[in-house]
Chain A
């Protein structure tokens, strides 16, 4: 993809390559799932699958937005904080009004606005993304903790979003939108072009800053969506909910094969990455293994996937 200004000559071959790129990942996921279901009693029953599905949906939904940001060469460390703050606004409205639709709309709108806050810092104030979103990670999180400590017992209708079916449905929706947005729209081509070669993209007439700005708004929206799933699943909203999840999200994106330097990335890969994270995390606990192994194993997994990717890229360059 690099050096392909505006991605104008996008044909079917990159798509096929994308699917091929995902194949080892999907195989890894299948192998992990098979391993745990054979070796670990209770892994493959419906409840547990539902639980894995929810975890995948939460990490994956945030990961889809993050994928867009990372493809432009940026990063969004504030996604879990946006999740908490937008959910906090929602919970307060639910508590006061008892309604569902309006609070959910406010949650999504505020998540876009918070993402736009990042966009403002990155594009207008020209702060490096890692610094800008590091700052908003703190700002939004503290705001969330000061807004809501704990609001529990959310409306019954809303809780449907937290079931295995509900959460996966929402996630599938986000996934479809992400796939279409990245590979079938001009916006997606602009995102890839900006990340691939900024100067070339600018010369080709892409409005670079606006494109980058929108990716942060999208990442915010995805975090808001993940917030709906998480609050419905927990049947409560806490200011400190899902603290530290941003790193799981970045790990999912990276394991999914999106290049952290930008220009190349896959929404489907991110979804697979999120599923691998969720399966590993769950499988290890169900197997009675120390949950602390999870962190070490994820670390090794990122190194291996990243290293293999690098070697493969080198071989392609050499060929």
Chain B
């Protein structure tokens, strides 16, 4: 019941768009089949994981556009170390994830400690990470087809009672659950929301603003790296361009989920709805044989629609409280 109330109160726009998309495609063959609903979760689990971390960063009033670059860097690094230098694939993955943390640390330091603008810093690290990824092999991709254990992360299913769920979907759900607890039940979560509402007030209240912000960016880079590893696993390839446009897609999912870009609020359930909306749109369009171009366009329209509806909701609430 609390969930329903939360959805009604905050995520009206997201839910409305999701329902509209579902109705739009309701008559499309295969739309409600398990193959569509579950089979394709492998694709959007990757973007969902990034969107979860992005929700926390946006809740602090920040933004991170280096996530796609970080995913590409992790993909290329792990291939470079494993294929190019004969490392064990898991050791290579570990090293690549440490580098992802390094990028998160750069972002966090520059933003939280030096007080630089998030857009500026992460624009720079986006460029930097993509550059590193390309320089490693001059843009050539590396095949990971023979690493069966690594490929299994994305290709296997986990058998739950009655239904088998793709492993990436489980990873996404676990990520959401952990982040939910982090945001709603811990001091860290309250600190994030407080500093997103007003950094000055948070400082006065004795909240360690710098540390909380730093950790948020660290967490997001880690999740972006995880997404990069999942992409490599699913495609059995390490390539510099992995995670292309993830910054845009993750922000779209968060905004579709009704989280305000101005900070101070963050709904992980909303973000999950946002990801589901994007997935429904993508699947529906794919099932009707629409081109990638049309999908891109529809996503843009959905994004605007979600913003407009949420603005209207905010005005209603404000109007209501005045009278």
Contact = CB atoms under 8 A, between A and B. Distances in A.
A and B touching (C-beta < 8 Å)?
Answer: yes
A105 interface: no
Given A130-B261, A138-B296, A310-B114, A303 B124 contact: yes
A292 B131 contact: yes
Contacts of B299: 138
B294 interface: yes
B127 A247 contact: yes
**Interface size classification for chain B:** 35 or more
A278 interface: no
Contacts of A142: 293-294, 296-297
Interface in B210-238: none
A138 B297 contact: yes
B255 interface: yes
B131 A297 contact: yes
B135 A292 contact: yes
B308 interface: yes
Looking at B120, B135, B261, which has the most chain A CB atoms within 10 Å of its CB?
B120
Interface string B282-303: 0000000000011011011101
B17 interface: no
B242 interface: no
Nearest to B114: A310
A101 to B, nearest CB: 32
A254 B125 CA distance: 14
B123 A254 contact: yes
A166 interface: no
B250 to A, nearest CB: 11
A108 B58 CA distance: 36
A238 to B, nearest CB: 14
Given A142-B294, A295-B134, A306-B120, 17 more contacts: A125-B311, A127-B307, A131-B304, A132-B307, A134-B251, A134-B300, A135-B301, A135-B304, A138-B297, A139-B297, A259-B117, A298-B131, A299-B125, A303-B106, A303-B125, A310-B116, A311-B114
A138 B294 CA distance: 10
B308 to A, nearest CB: 5
Contact of A135 (B106, B139, B300): B300
A128 interface: yes
29 contacts: A121-B304, A125-B311, A127-B311, A131-B307, A134-B251, A134-B252, A135-B304, A138-B296, A138-B297, A143-B297, A247-B126, A247-B127, A254-B123, A259-B117, A290-B134, A290-B135, A292-B131, A294-B131, A295-B130, A296-B132, A298-B124, A300-B128, A301-B124, A302-B123, A303-B128, A306-B110, A306-B117, A311-B114, A314-B115
Nearest to A126: B311
Interface of A: 75, 121, 125-128, 130-132, 134-139, 141-143, 145-146, 247, 250-251, 254, 259-261, 290, 292-303, 306-307, 310-311, 314
B119 interface: yes
Given A134-B252, A292-B131, A294-B131, A300 B297 contact: no
A105 B93 CA distance: 55
A306 B128 contact: no
B77 interface: no
Interface in B96-127: 106, 110, 114-117, 119-121, 123-127
Nearest to B127: A299
A72 to B, nearest CB: 14
B131 A302 contact: no
A299 B126 CA distance: 7
A303 B121 contact: yes
B127 A75 contact: no
B138 A292 contact: yes
A302 B124 contact: yes
B145 interface: no
B24 interface: no
Contacts of B255: 128, 131
Nearest to A259: B117
Nearest to B308: A125
A285 B110 CA distance: 30
Nearest to B261: A128
B75 to A, nearest CB: 15
B124 A300 contact: yes
B138 A290 contact: yes
A298 B116 CA distance: 17
Contacts of B135: 290, 292-293, 296
Contacts of B129: 299
B88 to A, nearest CB: 27
Contacts of B128: 295-296, 299-300, 303
Q: Which 5 A-B pairs have the closest CB atoms?
A: A296-B131, A299-B128, A299-B127, A295-B131, A292-B134
